[in-house]
Every structure is written in structure tokens, then in C-alpha cells.
Amino acid sequence: MVNSPTTSPLGMTRHRVRLRAHVAAVCCGVLLTGPILAGATAPALAAVAQERTRHEESGRGTLLSAEKLYTLASPQAAAAELRTAGFGDDTVRHGVVAYRLVYRTVDAKGQPTTASGLFAVPLGAERHLQAVSFAHGTGAHKDDSPSMRRAVFHSAPVIAHAAAGAAAVAPDYLGLGKGPGLHPWMDIGSEATASLDMLRAARAFAPRTGHVLDREVLVTGFSQGASAALGLGRALEAGEDRWFGLGALAPVSGAYDFGGAELPALVAGTLDKKSGAVYAAYTLVAFNRLHPIYDRPAEVFRGTYAHTVEDLFDGAHTGLDLMRGIPDSLDALLTEHGLALLTHPTGALAAALRTTDAVCTDWRPRAPVRLYMATGDEQATTENTEHCRAALARRGVDVPVVDLGAVDYKESRHLGSNVAATTAIVRWFGELRRR
């Protein structure tokens, strides 16, 4: 569930721990008038205007620093970068320059903070570029993020989109990369604000690379990032930025119905049991930090795990550390109360899950949407995708589901879906840009 050479359900890198040398993957400028919500009520429009004002007054999206990380000077070099990460290279048309941006944003409670992300632009491309925002899957260590390492699972989709001719933008999220503090995992609100503010920072920096970002953003994300992508898409269509709007949306293998589909599958043992135990631990620890659901770790974690599990999610432990430090089953990890919380969430946890699970249920996308998944996903049950498709259908949006088939990466169907989907989405977004 870290992101070394691998990632997990919500994008984590899963290391199958038989403690041997083999580590397998698991799995995470000028302001102009922007889009207005079609048919919005006066209170809704007032809320959007208030959000814009808050953004402007707080300096959200202000670029603090930009560092050139590396240059892939030719299409051949970009292709080699993708192959090293285990991704396809048949959509490469450009070399790429990659930068780390650090910018102002807000934390999960709306307080000022900073975050970082990866910004990549194609060499030899036209001045005007369309932005592609990619939200990565689950990571636990601060380096499990696009701007911190190259030629790896989290950064490869960014390079793929840039090498195809887009300006690729990828937030590291709060608490990962160069951001301070702890990562608020699966907190859709802060993932959306970090993503939107990364776009603003990229727009401010783009002229230094000889480019200008167009208004429509193509949004994608994998696993944890699939829900983050939906959160960003919702914010863009709500008009939360004066410049950017949503051009298309392509989430991959998300836990869109985290409380109604993902957690029940984890508890029932129908998903990979080891990664399920890691995700259960991450759920309780991360959600408890924002929505207190237990007073003492011993209420939910058994034995010595009550003294060790919370520390594993401090941003300094790797995915291998998590795999070593968390048992192979929920029964060994959780107390009866801990298991009951995940089986029948109540109180603060239930309220938090209702917010997390609203990414497909509380809005009606106007831009084109495609959902990508792989049959047999061992980390994110495919019921998530079906529930999202059905929820959007109830709102009158017919969303195609693209089944990527039997696609494995590092012995993981979940991770394989990101690799296969990246090529498919690069092609689809390319078609949309050429229209």
C-alpha cells in the first residue's frame, strides 16, 4: 500500500511479504469568468461565489517554488522512462520536462498549508496546452507520490500524458511529497482542493515553460485517485475556479462506494486478505484523525497492534513496513469493536463515509465520463464501479464502463488496471483534444 514499484486498492503498492527478496505490488494569471452551474439556485451560486472569494483571499494555488526535476530530451527517452516503470510507450510523441511545484492550499479543516505536485510539459509542442490532471493511488510514505520519484508507478501516467502532448498535472496530496503533516487518506474534500490548487499553480508556472494552459481540464485518477478525480470534476463543474472547467472525466478502479461496497468486501474476505487488513488499518487510523471514532487504539486494534499500527501511518514508513507490521487477516488485527465499526459503521465514521461515498451520487456531470475497471480486481471490488455507474444513471447520465480485461502488473489485477487504462485514456483524451 505504499508506492514503491507498486500500489494498492486505492492505489497502494502492495508488497507480498514473504520476507524474501521478492517484493510484489499491491495496491492511491488573469482571472476570467468561469463556468456557471446549469440551473443552479441563487443559494448555490452564492456558495460558489463565496468559495471563489475564499480562494482568492487565502492565496490558494499561489506558486511558492518550482524545481526542474528531469528532462526526457526525446520521444525515445520518454518511451524508455515509461518502459522502466512497466507502462506502454505506444502513445509517445514528445520528449518531456518534469518539474516539482510547491504551492499554497488548505488542509482538511480549511486552514492554510502547502502541498507539492508533479508538472510535466511536452517538448516541441504548441504554446497552448490542455491540462490533464492525474490523481494517484494510495501511498503511505511521503515519497509515494508523483513528484518524489521518477520512472515508477505513481509518476508514469503523468509522463505518458505529457509525452502525448498534454500539460500533465499531478498533486502529491496533503501530507505527501513536500507537504507538511499527515496524509488525510480518502478525504475527498482535501484531495479536491489540493488538486484544484495544483492546477492553479501549474497555470501560473506554465508561461515560464513557454506555454499557456487552456480552460478545459481532462481529469483522471486511479484507485484512491479515482474518487479524488471525481471530487475535482465536481468542483470544476460547480464553477469553483474562474478559469478552469471540466472537459472530460476518466476514473480508474476506484472505491467510489467505500462504505457500501469496499468495506463490506474487505470484511467478507472476498478481496486480497493481506491488502484488506492494511486498508482496514488505514481506514480506522486516517478517518479517526479527522472524525474521531475511537478514543484509544486498543478499542479497535488487538494486542501489540494497539501500540504500533498508528505509527505505521506517519508518512515515514514504507509499504513493506506496513506489510510487515500488519497481520494477514482482520481477525488478527481488529477487536470485536473494531470489526463491528467496519461492518456496521455508525456515528462519526458513518457520517464521514456518507461524504466519501457522495462522489457519484450528489452531482450530475455534464462533461463526458468513462469509468475504467478490470474484472477480478483483488483490491477494489468492481461493485464500486457498478454502483457509481448506476448512481449516475439515476441522474440521467449514461456512463460507459470500460472493462480492461485480465491485465496484471506485479501479480496484481488492480495495479494492472492502471497500466492498461493509462494507454486507453491517453488515446481517448487525445481524440478529445483534436476535436
The per-residue pLDDT for range 332-343, each reduced to its tens digit, is 999 999 999 999
Q: State the DSSP string of 17-35.
A: -SSSS--------------
- pLDDT tens readout for residues 71-86: 999 999 999 999 999 9
Q: Cell 488573469 belongs to which residue?
A: 30
Residue 68's SS3 state is: strand
pLDDT at 268: 97
- Band the pLDDT of 38: cuts 50, 70, 90: very low
Which pTM does this prediction carry?
0.89
Q: What does the pLDDT read at residue 435? A: 84
The predicted-structure confidence for 141-154, as pLDDT tens digits, reads as follows 999 999 999 999 99
User: What size, in residues, is the chain?
Assistant: 435
DSSP notation for 306-357:
HHHHHHHTSSSS-HHHHHHHS-SSHHHHB-HHHHHHHHS--HHHHHHHHHHG
- The share of the chain scoring above pLDDT 90, in percent, equals 86
Q: What tens digit of pLDDT does each residue of 397-407 get?
A: 999 999 999 99
Domains defined along the chain, listed by start: 1-31+59-435 (3.40.50.1820)
The β-bridge relationship of strands 128-135 and 112-122 is unpaired
**Residue 31 in this model has a pLDDT that exceeds 50:** no
Mean pLDDT (the chain, rounded)? 90
pLDDT tens for each residue of 106-116 = 999 999 999 99
What percentage of the chain exceeds 70 in pLDDT?
87
**How much is the pLDDT for 434?**
87
Q: Is the pLDDT of residue 384 over 70?
A: yes
Residues 195-215, mean pLDDT to the nearest whole number? 98
Q: Which of 30-44, 58-72, 226-240, 345-359 has the lowest mean pLDDT?
A: 30-44
The H-or-E segment that residue 207 falls in is: none
Cβ neighbours for 190, distance < 8 A, ≥ 6 positions apart: 106, 107, 108, 173, 174, 184
pLDDT in the model for residue 51: 52
pLDDT at 34: 30
Find residue 70's DSSP bridge partners. Answer: 98
Q: Are 175 and 143 in contact (CB under 8 A)?
A: no
Q: How far apart are CA 13 and CA 255, in angstroms?
A: 16
> In sequence order, which residues have a C-beta less than 8 Å from that of residue 411 and are 6 or more positions away?
16, 24, 25
Confidence at residue 40, expressed as pLDDT on a 0 to 100 scale = 44
Mean pLDDT across the stretch 387-398? 98
- Between these two residues, 93 and 14, which has the higher pLDDT value? 93
Give mean pLDDT, residues 210-228: 98
Show the DSSP H helices in 180-304 as ranges: 188-205, 224-237, 263-268, 273-290
Nearest to 169 by CA among 273, 277, 241: 241
Q: Is the distance from CB of 427 to CB of 383 less than 8 angstroms?
A: no
Order of strands across the sheet that contains 96-106: 63-72, 96-106, 112-122, 167-171, 128-135, 212-222, 245-252, 371-373, 401-403
